[in-house]
Structure 1
């Protein structure tokens, strides 16, 4: 499937299956080469300051945390930037991806695209950590989904 997961983790798969047809949250993945658990409270604090409409948090593995955030594109941009700024001083590289789910599509597909975007962030920011966002609500910066639709995830 990708470098991080052989298949969608069961806890995430169960969440994706429970989503309603009208849900359009932003999926966010955070990855580090070390155990992410010590940083979860800090990450949650950053997210909670932004007062998203809803938040689902699932630790996908020792190194990866998954979030589903119902919020505007301005809020998701602030969240990923603040998480990066908060964790950059920890001497550990953190990589983030945020990908907005379109309610006309399949949540599993959007999750896989979010994984692919995380891989792009890891490749682009290999030495320093960083983040990438794909959110169709931000018409000025939206890169589209063509490259995700062309590749098998």
Structure 2
């Protein structure tokens, strides 16, 4: 997969860094990092459609590399935010798979009492772990701030 050699030195883009810097004690978005086996551009139309369908607020959407995408999402229309974010990510991966696109996705729920950049690093670390464990199949995992280990989403 493209971009994997840069894991240790991966930095948030300026746009992502500005987003992380403005998070405060009340912000608890779900951060997603999705690594594809193709250019991110192949997924943008699907992504935009699903953000609308699932009624999500996309606070930050940024290409981290040619094949890696960062999203910060919140669900503002109901009570089951975690369920809605997971359903969105699962459907995104399902639609990518239908197009023959391999994807590895990590979701980290940012703890508003923690450091936003650490949540970003945790998300990056989780997607690397997913790729290391399932390089040839699409996989998706979530880690909430109360979890001790990630839960894999089927």
The question of a shared fold, defined as TM-score above 0.5 by the shorter chain, is answered with yes
In 1, distance between residues paired with 2:8 and 2:44? 18
Tell me, yes or no, if structure 1 residue 52 matches structure 2 residue 56: yes
Q: 1:3 to 1:118 in 2, by over 3 A?
A: same
Q: 1:28 to 1:39 in 2, by over 3 A?
A: same
Tell me, yes or no, if structure 1 residue 64 matches structure 2 residue 64: no
Q: 1:57 to 1:39 in 2, by over 3 A?
A: same
Which structure's residues are more often strand, by fraction?
2
Contact 1:94–1:129 (Cα < 8 Å) also in 2: yes
Select which of 25, 32, 35 maps to 1:31.
Answer: 35
User: Would you identify which runs of 4 or more consecutive aligned residues in structure 1 move more than 4 Å?
Assistant: none
Counterpart residue number, 2:10: 6
1:2-151 aligned at under 5 Å gives the runs 3=7, 5-71=9-75, 72-136=81-145, 143-144=147-148
- Structure 2 unaligned spans of 5+: 1-5, 76-80, 150-154
